[in-house]
Structure 1
Amino acid sequence: MNLANFENWFGEKVLPNLPPNSVIVMDNAPYHNRQTERTPMKFDTKVRMLEWLQCRNIPCDESMRKDELYAKVRANKPAEKSFAVNLLAESKGHQVVRSPPYNCDLNTIELAWVNIKRHVREHNISGDLTATNMLNLVDATFQSVTASDWKGYCKKVKETEEEYWARDGVVEIAVDEIIFNTATSEVRKTQTHKRKTVTVKAIDHMA
């Protein structure tokens, strides 16, 4: 799959077959994320930064250093990225939401794929890897996924998410306790040091 093929398939095959006002959950594969107006990054060329700023009528000139130009880019970049597939979906009355990056266990489709691949592996007894046989086997496997299966995948993801939230709360409490104990320890050290200083001064005075 590549960007051009995905966007053609998405626009011609997916969107026309969706119910009105659908919500499309999409992962962060590179071909899902073509930006309509990519904001220059720190390592882009000076020319690219100048062009981006000038297109937006933001004051700049060629005499400025690259770090100065990038500071202007950061100060004026959009709050959210604009993706081509999002705009395409929105033009048809749908909405695209993206799953969290680097958390495939929070992506329901990943659970479905695990079972689909296992089903294909277990049922390809003959070892026939021809395109025709594999397409027929994959199609039959897709058809075997039921609404009940999907409901179970969603339930599992929700349980995983709730477990992460619970762990996050435990981590926050633990970090707060570490910070508090560290601060308390520093205060005690300071107080002990002051008492020692006072004692030494008192002994010197008596001597």
Structure 2
Amino acid sequence: MDASNFTKWIEEKLIPNLPPNGIIVMDNAPYHSKQVNKPPNFSARKNVMQMWLQEHNIEFDEKMTKRELYMLIKRHKPEKVYFIDEIFRSHGQEVLRLPPYHCDLNPIEYVWNLMKQTVADKNVDQSEKDIERLTKEAIQSITPEDWKRECNHVDRLRDKFWHADRLYELEEQELVISLGGEDSDNESDDNIFSDNEEFDNNDSETMSGVEAF
């Protein structure tokens, strides 16, 4: 699979069979993630960097080195726009991308696992010629109830992650409060100011080895 074949499958097979106003859950496989007008990386040629800056109306000096041009590109790097996402949007579909490295939040991963297990259980002779037939049978064996079960599993897992995040935030707040809180911060600022005043008046005495100018 590559970006070209994936795009063709989406346009010719998937989109014509989708109901209107759908939500497409997309992971971050490379062929899912071809960017529109992707900014040059550091390995790009200098003239390519200059061309990208010109196209985005970003001023630069012709004498800039390649490293300086790249730093300028990084400062103006736009939000990522994916080619596939734009195709779906043009057909009234919304794309929801999974967080990177969180395949456990994608129900299809668990469905694939069910299929693989079905094939493995039936292919007892390890026959390569039977793989295609068994795979097609495994696909047909997946039911709406299977999908619902795996989606519910992902929902529970997501809620677990959210709960863990909230606990972490509460612990962080408690740590801040135990270390002083907002009132303590104000007092600390006052103390710092007082200390600075004392240092200004007696700087040669309070720091050993430092002479006043």
Residue 176 of structure 1: CA displacement? 3.0
Structure 2 CA distance, aligned partners of 1:170 and 1:158?
18
For residue 19 of structure 1, what is the aligned residue in structure 2?
19
Letter of the 1:64 counterpart: M
For residue 7 of structure 2, what is the aligned residue in structure 1?
7
For residue 85 of structure 2, what is the aligned residue in structure 1?
86
1:69 aligns with 2:66: no
Q: Pairwise mapping of residues 135-174 of structure 1 onto structure 2 (< 5 A)?
A: 135-174=132-171
1:25–1:99 CA contact under 8 A, matched in 2: yes
For residue 198 of structure 2, what is the aligned residue in structure 1?
none
Residue 66 of structure 1: CA displacement? 4.3
Scaled by the length of structure 2, the TM-score of the pair is 0.76
Structure 2 CA distance, aligned partners of 1:67 and 1:172?
39
Q: Pairwise mapping of residues 1-207 of structure 1 onto structure 2 (< 5 A)?
A: 1-41=1-41, 44-66=44-66, 68-78=68-78, 80-130=79-129, 133-182=130-179
The percentage of aligned residue pairs carrying the same residue is 39
Secondary structure in structure 1 of the residue aligned to 2:174: helix
Residue 182 of structure 1: CA displacement? 4.6
Structure 2 CA distance, aligned partners of 1:45 and 1:182?
52
Letter of the 1:98 counterpart: R
Residue 114 of structure 1: CA displacement? 1.2
**1:9-45: per-residue Cα shift (whole Å, max 9, x none)?**
2222111221222221111000000012102345655
Secondary structure in structure 1 of the residue aligned to 2:128: coil
List structure 1 segments (4+ residues) > 6 angstroms apart after TM superposition: none
Structure 1 CA distance, aligned partners of 2:4 and 2:67?
34
Which structure 1 segments of 5+ residues have no match?
A: 191-207
Q: Give the paired residue count.
A: 185
TM-align CA RMSD: 2.5
Structure 1 CA distance, aligned partners of 2:180 and 2:26?
45
Q: 1:155 to 1:180 in 2, by over 3 A?
A: same
Scaled by the length of structure 1, the TM-score of the pair is 0.78
